[in-house]
């Protein structure tokens, strides 16, 4: 029954046949390919073959045959070809493609989840002397490789949703180069399509305008958009004639498209007996009863089936790549092999509705930067916002707990200290860094998901659910139950959440951190660095100034004087973060020179930064206002002192 309903929707029956109101959402048709610039992608012979006999050109296509050989059909097809060939748009140049790279990409980024693997490609996990299993499930044929030239195919692979907005061919998030490489591979052995029958018929020119009218009369516009590039030719403002055929409730299940011998003028789908029986059952149900309201879980399952999410993901025991296809899913980090299916295959989607935040769902489904498994070769595709936005609400409802886990993320409790969470994550705490990396640091062991975006990515209630009982929350995970028997587990989890929420401004946990993380480097930052701290030789009121080029100085704000200058590296600020007693920082460079003590009494008045970032210190000495600046020059520092409007300069060389 569900298979028949799926066919009613996916074959776009409801673009021509009106549907009972209760069934409208379930049987909502999908958008067909956008034909606005089809003349730039397909040559006239390919268009002829696709229109004249779609099933002969591409086995399994969902496009019906509308021309079954009736008188005048060849002329109509030719007119449509001329019209569609006129719809053009210049395609920008693309990078040259590399066949071998394209071959590797095709078999690793996820294409083989739906399409046939090549016979001469051996999955890396299959022994050299073992036979490679062939997929048991049907593969989607790749007909576009013969139809499109290299440039058009590269553009399509880079952004298929621009041409096919239904998302049935999703955006694999390829770079320009990757798209060109795969296009080059798919073009190996390509033979440009030729319509021999068209050439033999020698049909006279029919004219673009005639084709435009036929496009309207045949109701092609019910499925296909054509108006975005050449509105005048596309018939701007002409409505699609949805519902002009018989209402679904008035159809006979043994006539029309489903008849044993179809009458002339009816759309011809390439349906087998099983598909016809399923359609008849579904049609009978639609005619006899209103649609029952689907639960959120049933709605999720329906949409995942329509978009074929189950080709890669499993949810509630359904779906996931079959073994002959799964063997092509791999990793680019050999240490991740130890994770098995958990690290090699796309994740299970159980509980995902209460797992991810809306913002992260948006990144994954139609946005950018949602990937958290850089060790996986497979790309998570985008299906487009229109196809997936409602999925978020359905998943939220389907996976919600009656009583969610309670977690305080206010940051107001005494134990809500990022430092406590940092220590728990570290090598001397719960050792989470053994598996999880953070920021730009890899984990100490096999890589799993980095924790950098945890607070942005996960709902806090799920975070607590996972940490308290990882095996139940995520069956098959290698994550141990770290919090079993810990009396303050609730508080510790909240401390970890606090740290992860504030992670951008926090030091790394022990095990991932090195002293180099805290070194202040003016040359790398290409700017003057002014840093207040305890500095050896400058006291507890010190202000360090590091200049690009390797000259540095320290100013004592208490004594209002420069105390030490040196060359080379600037300062290591690690003790500011790590040691609560904050011992004085030692200058890292060489050639350290101690400056002479001040002779008069001075009172510090602050400092200002020039446009170049160089600080000028202000103080009063013996009742007079002084401005004191060091600036790098050839051979050392230029020391400039302005006192009551009079300026003195000296060069400090050492």
**Above 50 in pLDDT, residue 238?**
no
Residues 6 or more apart whose Cβ sits within 8 Å of residue 310 = 304, 318, 319, 320
Within 10 angstroms of residue 292's Cβ, the number of other Cβ atoms is 9
Query: Taking residues 73-95, what's their average pLDDT?
Result: 93
Please tell me the distance from the alpha carbon of residue 587 to that of residue 568, in angstroms, as a whole number: 9
The number of angstroms, rounded, from the C-alpha of 612 to the middle of its chain's C-alpha atoms is 39
Predicted local confidence at residue 578, as pLDDT: 60
Q: What is the pLDDT of residues 449-458, one digit of tens each?
A: 999 999 999 9
Q: What is the pLDDT of residues 295-327, one digit of tens each?
A: 999 999 999 999 999 999 999 999 999 999 999
Within 10 angstroms of residue 506's Cβ, the number of other Cβ atoms is 18
Residue 194 pLDDT level (bands cut at 50, 70, 90):
confident
Predicted local confidence at residue 265, as pLDDT: 77
**Above 50 in pLDDT, residue 159?**
yes
- Is there a single domain that holds both residue 444 and residue 552? no
C-beta separation of 222 from 240 below 8 A:
yes
* Distances 477 to 52, 445, 466, 483, 493 between C-alpha atoms, Å: 53, 16, 10, 15, 19
- Beta bridge pairs of residue 441: 438
Residue 419 pLDDT level (bands cut at 50, 70, 90):
very high
**Above 80 in pLDDT, residue 642?**
yes
Give the torsion through C-alpha atoms of 8, 11, 12, 13, to 10 deg: -50
Query: Taking residues 186-204, what's their average pLDDT?
Result: 76
Phi and psi of 178, rounded to 5°? Answer: -60, -40
Predicted local confidence at residue 352, as pLDDT: 98
Half-sphere exposure at residue 239, Cβ-oriented, CA atoms within 13 angstroms: 5
Least confident segment among 303-312, 460-469, 579-588 = 579-588
**Above 70 in pLDDT, residue 15?**
yes
Domain membership of residue 111 (yes or no) is: yes
* Distances 541 to 309, 410, 521, 594, 627 between C-alpha atoms, Å: 61, 35, 21, 17, 18
Indicate the pairing of strand 590-594 with strand 615-621: unpaired
- Is there a single domain that holds both residue 147 and residue 241? yes
- Is there a single domain that holds both residue 508 and residue 625? no
Last residue of a domain, one of 225, 246, 267: 246
C-beta separation of 34 from 228 below 8 A:
yes
Domain membership of residue 544 (yes or no) is: yes
Least confident segment among 37-41, 382-386, 443-447, 622-626 = 443-447
Last residue of a domain, one of 205, 223, 246: 246
Predicted local confidence at residue 72, as pLDDT: 63
Residue 393 pLDDT level (bands cut at 50, 70, 90):
very high
Please tell me the distance from the alpha carbon of residue 289 to that of residue 606, in angstroms, as a whole number: 82
Please tell me the distance from the alpha carbon of residue 43 to that of residue 28, in angstroms, as a whole number: 32
Number of domains composing the chain = 4
Query: Taking residues 614-634, what's their average pLDDT?
Result: 95
**Above 80 in pLDDT, residue 541?**
yes
**Above 90 in pLDDT, residue 343?**
no
Average pLDDT, the chain: 90
* Distances 82 to 47, 230, 233, 413, 630 between C-alpha atoms, Å: 9, 14, 11, 72, 77
Query: Taking residues 518-545, what's their average pLDDT?
Result: 91
**Residue 502's domain is classified under what CATH number?**
1.10.760.10
Predicted local confidence at residue 35, as pLDDT: 94
**Above 50 in pLDDT, residue 553?**
yes
Last residue of a domain, one of 179, 213, 246: 246
Least confident segment among 44-48, 333-337, 358-362, 580-584 = 580-584
Determine the number of helices (DSSP H) and then strands (DSSP E) in the chain.
25, 14
Domain membership of residue 93 (yes or no) is: yes
Q: Which is nearest to 625 in space by CA: 642, 600, 649, 647?
A: 642
- Is there a single domain that holds both residue 230 and residue 356? no
C-beta separation of 545 from 594 below 8 A:
no
Q: What is the pLDDT of residues 203-236, one digit of tens each?
A: 778 889 999 999 988 889 889 988 633 333 333 3
Domain membership of residue 281 (yes or no) is: no
Please tell me the distance from the alpha carbon of residue 15 to that of residue 224, in angstroms, as a whole number: 11
- Is there a single domain that holds both residue 153 and residue 92? yes
Least confident segment among 146-155, 282-291, 334-343, 430-439 = 334-343
Domain membership of residue 285 (yes or no) is: no
Predicted local confidence at residue 523, as pLDDT: 86
- Is there a single domain that holds both residue 123 and residue 210? yes
- Is there a single domain that holds both residue 99 and residue 169? yes
The DSSP secondary-structure symbol of 268 reads B
Q: Which is nearest to 577 in space by CA: 507, 511, 523?
A: 507
Percent of the chain with pLDDT over 90: 68
- Is there a single domain that holds both residue 191 and residue 305? no
Q: What is the three-class DSSP state of 641? A: strand
Domain membership of residue 530 (yes or no) is: yes
Predicted local confidence at residue 554, as pLDDT: 97
Predicted local confidence at residue 161, as pLDDT: 96
Locate 642 and state its tokens.
Answer: 């302005």
- Is there a single domain that holds both residue 307 and residue 189? no
- Is there a single domain that holds both residue 200 and residue 332? no
Predicted local confidence at residue 234, as pLDDT: 36
**Above 90 in pLDDT, residue 10?**
yes
Predicted local confidence at residue 228, as pLDDT: 37
Predicted local confidence at residue 577, as pLDDT: 64
- Is there a single domain that holds both residue 353 and residue 443? no
Range of the domain at 130: 1-9+30-246
Least confident segment among 41-50, 237-246, 415-424, 532-541 = 237-246
- Is there a single domain that holds both residue 95 and residue 218? yes
Domain membership of residue 254 (yes or no) is: no
Domain membership of residue 112 (yes or no) is: yes
């Amino acid at each position: 029954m569900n298979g028949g309903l799926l066919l009613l929707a996916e074959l776009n029956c409801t673009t021509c046949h009106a549907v009972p109101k209760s069934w409208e959402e379930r049987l909502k048709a999908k958008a067909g390919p956008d034909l606005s610039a089809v003349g730039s992608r397909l040559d006239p012979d390919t268009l002829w073959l696709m229109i004249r006999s779609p099933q002969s050109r591409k086995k399994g296509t969902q496009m019906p045959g509308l021309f079954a050989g009736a008188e005048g059909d060849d002329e109509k097809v030719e007119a449509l070809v001329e019209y569609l060939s006129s719809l053009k748009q210049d395609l920008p140049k693309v990078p040259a493609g590399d066949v071998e790279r394209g071959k590797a990409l095709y078999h690793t980024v996820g294409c083989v989840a739906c399409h046939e693997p090549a016979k001469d490609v051996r999955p890396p996990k299959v022994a050299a002397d073992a036979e490679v299993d062939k997929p048991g499930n049907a593969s989607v044929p790749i007909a576009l490789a013969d139809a499109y030239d290299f440039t058009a195919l590269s553009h399509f692979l880079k952004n298929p949703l621009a041409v096919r907005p239904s998302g049935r061919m999703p955006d694999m998030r390829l770079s320009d180069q990757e798209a060109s490489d795969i296009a080059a591979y798919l073009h190996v052995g390509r033979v440009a399509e030729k319509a021999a029958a068209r050439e033999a018929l020698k049909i006279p020119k029919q004219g673009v305008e005639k084709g435009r009218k036929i496009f309207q009369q045949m109701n092609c516009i019910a499925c296909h958009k054509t108006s975005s590039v050449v509105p005048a030719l596309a018939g701007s403002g002409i409505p699609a004639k949805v519902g002009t055929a018989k209402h679904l409730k008035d159809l006979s299940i043994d006539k029309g498209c489903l008849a044993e011998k179809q009458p002339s003028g009816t759309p011809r789908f390439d349906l087998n007996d099983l598909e016809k029986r399923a359609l008849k059952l579904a049609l009978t149900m639609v005619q006899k009863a209103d649609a029952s309201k689907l639960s959120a879980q049933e709605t999720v399952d329906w949409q995942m089936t329509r978009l074929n999410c189950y080709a890669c993901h499993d949810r509630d025991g359904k779906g996931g790549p079959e073994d002959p296809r799964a063997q092509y899913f791999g990793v680019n980090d050999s240490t991740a092999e130890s994770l098995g299916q958990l690290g090699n295959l796309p994740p299970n989607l159980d509980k995902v509705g209460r797992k991810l935040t809306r913002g992260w769902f948006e990144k994954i489904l139609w946005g950018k930067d949602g990937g958290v498994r850089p060790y996986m070769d497979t790309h998570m595709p985008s299906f487009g916002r229109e196809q997936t936005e409602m999925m978020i609400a359905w998943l939220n409802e389907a996976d919600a707990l009656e009583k969610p886990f309670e977690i305080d993320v206010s940051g107001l409790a005494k134990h809500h200290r990022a430092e406590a969470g940092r220590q728990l994550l570290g090598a001397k705490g719960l050792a989470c860094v053994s598996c999880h990396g953070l920021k730009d640091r890899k984990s100490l062991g096999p890589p799993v998901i980095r924790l950098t975006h945890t607070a942005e990515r996960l709902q806090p209630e799920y975070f607590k659910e996972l940490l308290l009982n990882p095996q139940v929350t995520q069956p098959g995970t290698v994550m141990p139950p770290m919090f079993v028997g810990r009396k303050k587990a609730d508080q510790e989890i909240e401390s970890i959440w606090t740290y992860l929420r504030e992670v951008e401004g926090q030091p790394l946990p022990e095990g991932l951190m090195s002293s180099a993380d805290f070194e202040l480097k003016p040359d790398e930052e290409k700017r003057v660095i002014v840093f207040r701290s305890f500095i050896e030789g400058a006291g507890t009121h010190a202000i360090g100034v590091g200049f690009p080029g390797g000259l540095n100085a320290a100013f004592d704000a208490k004594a209002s004087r420069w105390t030490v200058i040196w060359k080379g590296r600037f300062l290591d600020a690690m003790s500011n973060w790590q040691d609560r007693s904050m011992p004085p920082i030692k200058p890292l460079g060489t050639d350290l020179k101690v400056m002479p003590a001040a002779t008069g009494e001075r009172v510090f008045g602050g400092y200002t930064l020039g446009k170049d970032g160089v600080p000028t210190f202000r103080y009063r000495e013996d009742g007079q206002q002084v401005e004191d600046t060091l600036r790098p020059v050839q051979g050392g520092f230029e020391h400039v002192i302005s006192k009551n409007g009079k300026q003195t300069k000296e060069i400090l060389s050492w």
